[in-house]
Amino acid sequence: MNDINVTQWKQANAVYQQLMDLTVSAALDKLNGMTGLDDGIKSMVLALISSGNQSSQYLQQWATPELTAGSDQADYQADDQLGDYRLEVALGEGGMSRVFRAVRLDGERQKPVAIKVFKKSVMTPALISRFAVEQDILAELTHPNIINMHHGGTSESGSPYIVMDLIEEARDIDVYAAEHQLSRRRKLAFIITAGQAIAFAHHNLIVHRDIKPSNLLVDQQGQLKVVDFGIAKLMTRAEAPQKTTIMALTPTFAAPEQINSGQISVTTDVFSLAVVALQLLIGESPLPADRLLKSCAEDEEHVRQLLKSRIDDADLRNILNQALQQDPEKRYRNMDSFVQDLQAWMDNKPVMASPDSWWYRSKKFAQRRSALFATLVTLVVMSLLGVTLLAHQVEKTRGEALKALEVKDFMLGVFSVVNPDQSQGDRILARDLLAQAVAELKQQDFSDQATQVELLSSLGTAQSQLGLYPAAKDTFAAALKLDARAMNARLGEIDVLLTENEFAAAESRLAEVRPLLEQPAHQAEWLLLHAKMLSFNGDYAAALDEARQAVSQFAALQLHKQKLQASRQVANVLFLQSESPRAAELLQQELTSLTPLLGPTNTMVLAAQNDLVELFNDVGDYDQAIKYSESLIDNITTVLGEEHPFLVQAYITRAGTSRATGAIEEAGEFAKRALNLSQTVNGETHQATARAMNLMAVISYVRGDLENALERMREASRLFDQAMGADHPESWDVKTNLVALLNMNGQYDEAISTVKPLYETQREELGASHRSTIYSQTILARLYGDVGRLDEARLLGEDLLVNAMADLGQGHPLTIGGHFTLARIYQKQGELAAAIQLMERVINHESWQDDNERVITAYNSLADLYLEDAQSEQARLYKDKSLQAARNLLGEEAPRTVAQMLKSIAFYQHVDQPDQAVQLIDRVKQLLLENQQLPASFAEQLQALEKPQG
Q: Give tens-digit pLDDT for 468-520.
A: 777 888 888 888 888 888 888 888 888 888 877 677 888 888 899 888 888 89
Residues contacting residue 709 through CB under 8 Å, at least 6 positions apart: 697, 698, 700, 701, 741
Strand partners, 216: 226
DSSP one-letter code for 23 = B
Pair (207, 348) in one structural domain: yes
How high is the pLDDT of residue 240?
41
pLDDT at 564: 92
Pick the more confident residue, 447 or 471. 471
Mean pLDDT of 340-360: 74
Residue 726 lies in a domain: yes
Q: In which domain, by residue range, is 461 found?
A: 430-516
Residues 152-172, mean pLDDT to the nearest whole number: 83
Phi, psi (rounded to 5 degrees) for 697 = -65, -45
Binding site for ATP: residue ranges?
Answer: 116
In a domain, 400, yes or no: no
Sign of CA dihedral 661, 663, 669, 675: positive
**CB atoms closer than 10 angstroms to residue 368:** 11
Q: Do residues 345 and 317 make contact, with C-beta atoms less than 8 angstroms apart?
A: no
Enumerate the β-bridge partners of residue 92.
Answer: 99
The confidence band for 435, taking pLDDT boundaries of 50, 70 and 90, is: low
| Residue 194 pLDDT greater than 90, yes or no | yes
DSSP for residue 146: B
Residues 814 and 889 in one domain: yes
Beta-bridge partners for 548: none
271: amino acid identity, one letter? F
pLDDT confidence band for 811 (50 / 70 / 90): confident
Specify binding-site residues. 116
892 and 792 in a common domain: yes
For the chain, how many structural domains are there in total? 6
Mean pLDDT across the stretch 319-339?
A: 91
Signed CA dihedral, 238, 240, 245, 249: sign only: negative
Instruction: Tell me the mean pLDDT in the region 25-31.
Output: 69
- How high is the pLDDT of residue 141? 74
Q: 462: domain CATH number?
A: 1.25.40.10
In the listed set 36, 71, 106, which residue is the last one of a domain according to the structure? Answer: 71
Q: d(Cα 820, Cα 800) in Å, to the nearest integer? A: 12
Query: Is there a domain that residue 409 lies in?
Result: no
Full DSSP string of 325-337: -SSGGGS-SSHHH
Residues 731 and 765 in one domain: no
Residue 451 CB-density burial (10 A; 0-12 exposed, 13-18 middle, 19+ buried) = middle
The average pLDDT across 116-139 equals 65
Pairing outcome for strands 85-93 and 97-104? antiparallel
Residues 718 and 866 in one domain: no
Residues 6+ apart with CB under 8 A from 497: 473, 503, 505, 506, 509
Q: What is residue 480's predicted lDDT score, i.e. its pLDDT?
A: 86
Residue 75 has pLDDT above 50, yes or no: yes
User: How many other CB atoms sit within 10 Å of the CB of residue 767?
Assistant: 14
- Tens digits of per-residue pLDDT, 613-670? 888 888 778 888 888 888 888 877 876 677 777 788 889 889 888 887 778 888 889 9
User: What number is the average pLDDT over the span 277-292?
Assistant: 88
Q: How much is the average pLDDT of 604-618?
A: 87
pLDDT higher than threshold 80 for residue 578: no
Mean pLDDT estimate for the chain: 78
Q: What is the pLDDT of residue 640?
A: 66
Most confident residue range from 234-243, 335-344, 617-626? 335-344
Cβ-Cβ contacts under 8 Å for 323 (sequence gap 6 or more): 270, 271, 273, 274, 277, 331, 332, 338
Give CA 19 to chain center in angstroms.
45
Percent of the chain residues past pLDDT 70, beyond the cut: 77
Looking at residue 578, the DSSP 8-state letter turns out to be: T
In a domain, 385, yes or no: no
**Is the distance from CB of 866 to CB of 882 less than 8 angstroms?**
no
More confident residue, 870 or 110: 870
Q: In this predicted structure, what is the pLDDT of residue 726?
A: 80
At residue 379, does pLDDT exceed 50? no
Beta-ladder partners of 154: 160
> In angstroms, rounded to a whole number, what is the distance separating the alpha carbons of residues 893 and 886?
10
Question: Sign of torsion, CA 389 394 398 404?
Answer: positive
For the ranges 287-301, 312-326, 795-809, the one whose mean pLDDT is highest? 312-326
Q: Give the Cα separation of 297 and 326 in Å (integer).
A: 9
Non-local (6+) Cβ contacts of 667 within 8 A are 655, 656, 658, 659, 699, 702
Please tell me the predicted confidence (pLDDT) of residue 426: 38
Higher pLDDT, 608 or 622: 608
* pLDDT greater than 50 at residue 402: no
What pLDDT, on a 0 to 100 scale, did the predictor assign at position 822? 92
pLDDT of residue 62 exceeding 70: no
Mean per-residue pLDDT, 257-278:
89
Instruction: Judge whether residue 316 has pLDDT over 50.
Output: yes
Give dist(CA 353, CA 331) in Å, integer: 10
Q: What amino acid is encoded at 647 in this protein? A: L
Q: What is the 3-state secondary structure (H, E, C) of 81-119?
A: EECCEEEEEEEEECCCEEEEEEEECCCCCCCCEEEEEEC
At 829-847, the pLDDT tens digits run 999 999 999 888 888 877 6
DSSP-assigned beta bridge partners for residue 164: 114, 149
CB 889 within 8 A of CB 851: yes
Q: How far apart are CA 915 and CA 909, in angstroms?
A: 9
Taking alpha carbons only, the member of 564, 618, 619 closest to residue 592 is 564
How far apart, in Å, are the Cα atoms of 66 and each of 6, 14, 60, 94? 12, 20, 10, 18
pLDDT in tens, 667-712: 889 989 989 988 887 778 888 888 889 889 988 887 778 888 899 9
Q: pLDDT digit string (tens) for 205-215?
A: 788 888 999 89
Helices then strands, each counted (H, E), the chain: 43, 11
Output the pLDDT for position 232: 54
Per-residue pLDDT band at 279 (split at 50, 70, 90): very high
Contact status, residue 245 vs residue 261, Cβ threshold 8 Å: no
Distance of CA 640 to the CA centre of its chain: 13
pLDDT over 60 at 171, yes or no: yes
Does the pLDDT of residue 389 top 50, yes or no?
Answer: no
Q: What per-residue confidence (pLDDT) applies to 495? A: 85
Strands 85-93 and 233-234: unpaired
- The single-letter DSSP state of residue 356 is P
Of 128 and 940, the structure prediction assigns the larger pLDDT to 940
* Cβ atoms within 10 Å, residue 680: 14
Asked if residue 560 is part of any domain, the answer here is: no
Q: How far apart are CA 820 and CA 848, in angstroms?
A: 14
Q: Quick one: which of 525, 589, 511 has its CA closest to 559?
A: 525
Residue 564 near residue 795, CB atoms below 8 Å: no
Helix (H, G, I), strand (E, B) or coil at 613: helix
Residues 905 and 945: beta-carbon distance below 8 Å: yes
- For helices 729-744 and 748-765, the axis angle rounded to 10 degrees is 150
**In-domain check, residue 395:** no
Q: Is it the case that residue 423 has pLDDT exceeding 80?
A: no
Confidence of residue 25 (pLDDT cuts 50, 70, 90): low
Integer distance in angstroms from the first to the last C-alpha of the chain? 85
Among residues 745, 774, 801, the one where a domain terminates is: 745
pLDDT, tens digit, 9 for 90 and up, residues 515-567? 888 889 899 999 999 988 888 777 888 889 999 999 999 999 889 989 999 99
Task: Give pLDDT tens digits for 737-790.
Answer: 898 888 888 898 999 999 899 888 888 877 888 888 888 899 899 999 989 999
Alpha-carbon distance of 78 to 161, in angstroms, equals 15
- Number of Cβ within 10 Å of residue 352's Cβ equals 14
Do 865 and 827 meet the contact criterion of CB atoms below 8 Å apart? yes
Nearest Cα residue to 275 out of 254, 304, 302, 244: 254
291: phi > 0 → left, psi -120 to 50 → alpha, else beta; which? alpha
SS3 of residue 172 by DSSP: strand
**Strand locations in 138-266 (E):** 149-154, 160-165, 171-172, 206-207, 216-218, 224-226, 233-234
Residue 418 domain-assigned? no
Closest CA to 117 of 169, 158, 69, 58: 158
Supply the CATH number for residue 119's domain.
Answer: 3.30.200.20
User: How wide is the angle at C-alpha 555 spanned by C-alphas 552 and 556, nearest 5°?
Assistant: 90
Q: To the nearest whole percent, how much of the chain has pLDDT over 90?
A: 17
- pLDDT beyond 90 at 347: no
Q: State whether 772 and 831 are in the same domain.
A: yes
Among 714, 745, 776, the domain-final residue is 745
Same domain? For 647 and 732 the reply is yes
Contact 98, 119 (CB under 8 A): yes
Q: Indicate whether 572 belongs to any domain.
A: no
Q: Judge if 295 and 353 occupy the same domain.
A: yes
Query: Of 890, 888, 828, 894, which is closest to residue 861 (Cα–Cα)?
Result: 828
Across the range 118-142, mean pLDDT stands at 65
Same domain for 352 and 235 = yes
Query: Which CA distances in Å does 662 have to 80, 104, 893?
Result: 32, 22, 10
DSSP 460-482: HHHHHHTT-HHHHHHHHHHHHHH
Query: Rounded to whole angstroms, how far apart are CA atoms 811 and 822?
Result: 16
Q: Where are the alpha helices (DSSP H) in 204-327?
A: 256-259, 266-282, 299-310, 314-323
Q: Looking at this protein, which amino acid is placed at residue 350?
A: P
Q: Quick one: 714 and 769 in the same domain?
A: no
Do both 254 and 343 map to the same domain?
yes
Helix 560-576 / helix 540-556 crossing angle, nearest 10 deg: 160
**Of 579 and 129, the one with more pLDDT:** 579
Residues 890, 813 share a domain = yes
- Which helix (DSSP H) or strand (DSSP E) does residue 850 occupy? none
Q: If you average pLDDT over residues 14-28, what whole number do you get?
A: 65
Answer whether 118's CB lies under 8 Å from 159's CB: yes
pLDDT exceeds cutoff 60 at 202: yes
Q: CA of 523: how far to CAs of 72, 227, 518, in Å?
A: 65, 43, 7
